[in-house]
Amino acid sequence: MRALLPGAAAALRSARGCSQWPSCGWKGRSFTSIRLSEAQVEAYRRDGFLLPGFQLEVDHLASARRAMDELLERNPDVMPEQLVNSHLADGEGEAQGVRGSAEFLKLASHPPLVELVSQCLGTENVILWACQIFCKLPGEGKAVPFHQDGQYWPIEPLRACTAWIALDRSDAENGALQVLPGTHSKGYVEHIQREDEEACISFIADPEAVAPQRPKATMLELEPGQVSLHDSMLLHGSERNRSRRRRAGVAAVYMPAECHFNREVETEGARKGGLKLDFDKRPLFVVRGSNQNPNNTLLRTL
């Protein structure tokens, strides 16, 4: 297991050393100065992920952690690893039984974060369409076998970026995110049904198809408030939390506003036996620029 690929490590060093990036937080900074280098954007497109060197301000992180604790209390019957649509608060509707919090909508629409996503997607027009909490409790947090998110997403053409925001320290002991670099460019990988009491999903990438890529697995260890970005088709997963520490993070998912969020289509994952998700009432939040596709519905501008 490698901590970082050479290309990713170089990109991270570039982010930390760039004069345009503040060393900590964004208070008092102009959002227009938050720019990835060309090398970083190229690394994202080549590898399918990026550690941009971004870290939330202390107050934003504290607010998100408080909201995380409240979310767990409000949803005692929901698996902590599957707190979907955590950004949809009471009054905006409930999704799959989860009572969300407006605090996570505020977090996912945070301008510096959206700026990074915008550059990775290559557009000034960005829609936030999903936000999920992944919380692995100490000693019992479940594994997430390698899989591709994009197989479940009704986006045409399929272009999306996930910002994974660490609320706790995320490392090898408590089940940090692992990615298989470059797999986003290889199309759909065959997925199979495999039940495992220690895993929180059962429709997973065929282990035989994943095996040749496993030696390249890259673990994305993050401090609280740090962020990783990854492509919708990148194979990724994580191990169980075997530590005495919680590992919680927020996965905010964005798409270019030029794409169509097609509520009528049956997704690749659903066709092949995975989850059949209902997107009929899913609101789309325009967090940067404006909607560019007239077929998109249930739009909300922040």
Give the CA radius of gyration of the chain: 18
The pLDDT of residue 278: 78
The pLDDT of residue 143: 85
Residue written as token pair 């629409």: 109
The pLDDT of residue 34: 75
CA distance 179 to 224: 19
**Cα dihedral 152/113/108/59 (nearest 10):** 150
| Per-residue tokens: 179 | 């990615």
- Chain centroid to CA 13: how far? 22
| Cβ–Cβ < 8 Å for 266, 274 | no
Q: What three-state secondary structure class fits 70?
A: helix
Q: What is the pLDDT along the chain (302 residues), one digit of tens a residue?
A: 444 444 444 434 433 433 333 333 333 333 344 789 999 999 999 999 999 999 999 999 999 999 999 988 988 887 777 788 889 986 445 556 678 899 999 999 999 999 999 999 999 999 999 999 898 999 888 888 899 999 889 999 999 999 999 999 999 999 999 999 999 999 999 888 887 777 777 678 899 999 999 999 999 999 999 999 999 999 999 999 999 999 999 999 999 999 999 999 887 767 766 666 778 889 999 999 999 999 999 999 98
| Cβ–Cβ < 8 Å for 43, 116 | no
Residues present in the chain in total: 302
pTM: 0.86
The pLDDT of residue 95: 55
The pLDDT of residue 281: 87
Q: What three-state secondary structure class fits 211?
A: helix
Best CA proximity match to 136, nearest among 198, 94, 181 = 198
| Cβ–Cβ < 8 Å for 234, 48 | yes
| Cβ–Cβ < 8 Å for 8, 218 | yes
